[in-house]
Amino acid sequence: MKDFLPITREDMHKRGWNEVDFTFVIGDAYVDHPSFGPAIISRVLEDAGYKVGIIAQPDWKDENSIDVFGEPRLGFLISAGNMDSMVNHYSVSKKRREKDMYTPGGVMGKRPDHATVVYGNLIRRKYKKKPVIIGGIEASLRRMAHYDYWDNTLKRSILLDSQADIISFGMGERSIVGIADALDSGIPVSDITFIKATAYKAKSLDTLPDNHIVLPSYKELKADKLNYAKSFYIQYTNTDPYSGRVLAEPYDDCYVVQNPMSEPLTQEEMDRVYALPYMRTYHPCYEPYGGIDAIREVKFSLISNRGCFGGCSFCALTFHQGRIIQTRSHESIIKEAELLIQDPDFKGYIHDVGGPTANFRAPACDKQLKHGVCPNKQCLFPKPCKNLKVDHSDYLELLRSLRSLKGVKKVFIRSGIRFDYIMADPDDTFLKEMCKYHISGQLKVAPEHVADPVLSKMGKPENSVYRAFCKKYASVNKALGKPQFLVPYLMSSHPGSTLKEAIALAEYLRDTGCSPEQVQDFYPTPSTLSTCMYYTGVDPRTMQPVYVAHDPHEKAMQRALIQYKEPKNYDLVHEALTKAHRTDLIGFEKKCLIRPRNKNDVRPRKTERELTPEEKKYGISFDKYDSIQRASSNGRTGSKPKAKKKNHK
């Protein structure tokens, strides 16, 4: 039967079930759509023959809230939701967010902080010995000892703090079915140590393969941040399913053991996952509360790929989806598009066709599917690898097929586009067709910064690559007769960025006339290279020191510099320029970022003639009348107002 999975005991009985095999506790509201991790995992288990009941956003203060279906036959599953619960709750300034996109009506407070840990302990109080399996983005990225930005401390593996038995990390389709089959066959949960993409507790390391790696102990990590940097980089270079080794992290009374990642899904397996009988929307019980906002962004979008070989330092995809690209077939995607067209709310616009990076539709090179990714090299950084295969033809063919469907007016690309990958392609066909058919007025790209020292820490290409892309993009749009623009995503306060680099970014924005509406402060989320730099003060790839802006006031100055035109940012920008000894950027010249408030702000020009009394007052030479007019318009020259024109009839 095609329906939502049970959320009440009555739903369970309607299906003729007396019990469920798994009770799935999730921090989000229940949305049965393939853009939501819990929906995929629950449908994959259903497809494998297991009965799953959903408990969405239980009252974590009430033990009975997780007893909706009684005791499950095999165990409990836990996911904090589509986002880490702390990212969901707090901005980078650690202020409580006002809205939760994954909760009915956007109401905050329906899930706890550190939801996986809280739900795990809630279940353990009620069911002491029942298997508990945790997964999702929160558990996946906290599977080993990790820096927690919100508590500003190094936390233990979430496996220990949640009192769970196993972590299913990564995307989880294979590992969750493997765990279910093992439990169903009667294997005790403590003996399920052989499944890829899982982490478990062990008393000894006797059964591990000979090439396993013992990481520094949690005690050693707490004692010296450099130990954490070394440990993190070992983990980072062992995220590949083919070359990755078993890792063990010692604690006082046990080890947390991490198996290698699962092999990437084949195209047939991907197609099967996305063809499962999703209801493609939120549960109707949320309708009286205004529904779930998060579905609106993805309801008419299509996922075409997984994984990313871009390797941005601030992104956790390496730890979660991996660097090997996995794709769906054209037939699978077109079939889903036809379902969208039949939806009564569809207006003819497919909002996106992509994934983590839209224009990646194949592994970076031929060897990756046999030997895995290079552990100590990136495919695009610092320069494109000589073995990189740059080819947009498959993606182009897919987009052409979609926009030819009856009922489709336009197909947009809103996922991230790697402009350096486009620049590495000698064929401009994709760029031309993207500009002609798949954007409307503007294209969002992510150069993130313009200072090469910062870009090197970000794992992004040199600024010259972005500048070249801007020129090519402008040229293509000019030829098409389309007045379309670039909207750059920019990041402040990333490790490596001092006020000097922040000012360089502001000067670039001045020179290009760009006024970004959105700026992201660097957000230290678990399991990224950048977060490791933020916590340890070193780049784990080189163990060399990295400048890190920890002071909230300095971070505010770096952010304000990117939006220096905003009147509310004037004081911060003025302070930053003064502190960086760049008061040459305070004045009336074209190169200046802000104008002075008093004469002491202006650095005097060198002039050959004697200054007039008025000029001496401000320490500046007004060589042209329009300069006086410009200064006068700000009410700071003290010049006499113009005489009023006589009214001639």
Q: How confident is the model at residue 215 (pLDDT cuts 50, 70, 90)?
A: very high
pLDDT for res 364: 95
Handedness of CA 297, 303, 305, 306 (dihedral sign): positive
Domain containing residue 394: CATH number: 3.30.750.210
**Token output for 168:** 């299913």
> Which of 198, 222, 247 is the endpoint of a domain?
198
Domain containing residue 141: CATH number: 3.40.50.2300
Pair (308, 419) in one structural domain: yes
Q: Rounded mean pLDDT of the chain?
A: 92
CB 300 within 8 A of CB 346: yes
- pLDDT, tens digit, 9 for 90 and up, residues 458-505: 999 999 999 999 999 999 999 999 999 999 999 999 999 999 999 999
Pair (433, 506) in one structural domain: no
The domain of 401 spans 300-439
pLDDT for res 398: 98
Short-list 135, 18, 117, 111, CA closest to 72: 18
Domain annotation covers residue 274: no
Report which secondary-structure segment, H or E, holds 489.
strand 485-492
Short-list 310, 290, 331, CA closest to 104: 290
- pLDDT, tens digit, 9 for 90 and up, residues 299-309: 999 999 999 99
CA distance 588 to 592: 6
Domain annotation covers residue 537: yes
Domain annotation covers residue 246: no
Domain containing residue 582: CATH number: 3.30.750.200
Buried b vs exposed e over 304-340: b needs ≥16 C-beta within 10 Å?
A: bbbbbbbbbbbbbbbbbbbbbbbbbeeebbbebbeeb
Pair (449, 435) in one structural domain: no
- pLDDT, tens digit, 9 for 90 and up, residues 276-287: 999 999 999 999
Q: What is the CA radius of gyration of the chain?
A: 28
Pair (429, 517) in one structural domain: no
Residue 513 has pLDDT above 80, yes or no: yes
Q: How confident is the model at residue 181 (pLDDT cuts 50, 70, 90)?
A: very high
The angle subtended at Cα 510 by Cα 505 and Cα 512, nearest 5°, is: 95
Domain annotation covers residue 524: yes
The angle subtended at Cα 552 by Cα 548 and Cα 557, nearest 5°, is: 85
pLDDT for res 40: 98
Cα distance from N-terminal residue to C-terminal residue, the chain: 86
Q: What value does the mean pLDDT take over residues 319-332?
A: 96
Short-list 241, 239, 226, 254, CA closest to 157: 254
Distances (CA, A) of 498 to 510, 546, 549, 573: 19, 10, 7, 14
Pair (406, 510) in one structural domain: no
> Which of 198, 219, 241 is the endpoint of a domain?
198
Handedness of CA 540, 541, 543, 547 (dihedral sign): negative
Domain annotation covers residue 241: no
CA distance 442 to 475: 14
- pLDDT, tens digit, 9 for 90 and up, residues 593-644: 999 987 665 555 444 455 566 545 545 544 443 343 444 444 444 444 444 4
Q: What value does the mean pLDDT take over residues 449-464?
A: 97
Domain annotation covers residue 502: yes
Pair (421, 472) in one structural domain: no
Pair (426, 447) in one structural domain: no
Domain annotation covers residue 218: no
Pair (452, 586) in one structural domain: yes
Pair (581, 616) in one structural domain: no
Pair (434, 554) in one structural domain: no
Any idea of the CA torsion for 429, 430, 436, 439, to the nearest 10 degrees?
A: -170
Q: What value does the mean pLDDT take over residues 176-184?
A: 98
Q: What value does the mean pLDDT take over residues 76-105?
A: 96
CA distance 208 to 216: 17
Q: What value does the mean pLDDT take over residues 446-460?
A: 96
Distances (CA, A) of 155 to 39, 147, 149, 167, 379: 29, 6, 10, 16, 32
Pair (637, 533) in one structural domain: no
pLDDT for res 480: 96
Q: Looking at the 3D structure of the chain, how many domains does it have?
A: 4
pLDDT for res 515: 86
Residue of higher predicted confidence among 649 and 228: 228
- Please list, in sequence order, all residues whose beta carbon lies within 8 angstroms of the beta carbon of residue 483, skipping any fewer than 6 positions away: 441, 477
CA distance 90 to 151: 12
pLDDT for res 297: 87
Q: How confident is the model at residue 369 (pLDDT cuts 50, 70, 90)?
A: confident
Lowest mean pLDDT across 124-133, 398-407, 603-612: 603-612
Pair (590, 623) in one structural domain: no
pLDDT for res 643: 46
Domain annotation covers residue 209: no
> Which of 143, 171, 198 is the endpoint of a domain?
198
- pLDDT, tens digit, 9 for 90 and up, residues 96-105: 999 999 999 9
- Please list, in sequence order, all residues whose beta carbon lies within 8 angstroms of the beta carbon of residue 422, skipping any fewer than 6 positions away: 359, 392, 430, 431, 469
- pLDDT, tens digit, 9 for 90 and up, residues 520-562: 999 999 999 999 999 999 999 999 999 999 999 999 999 999 9
CA distance 235 to 571: 43
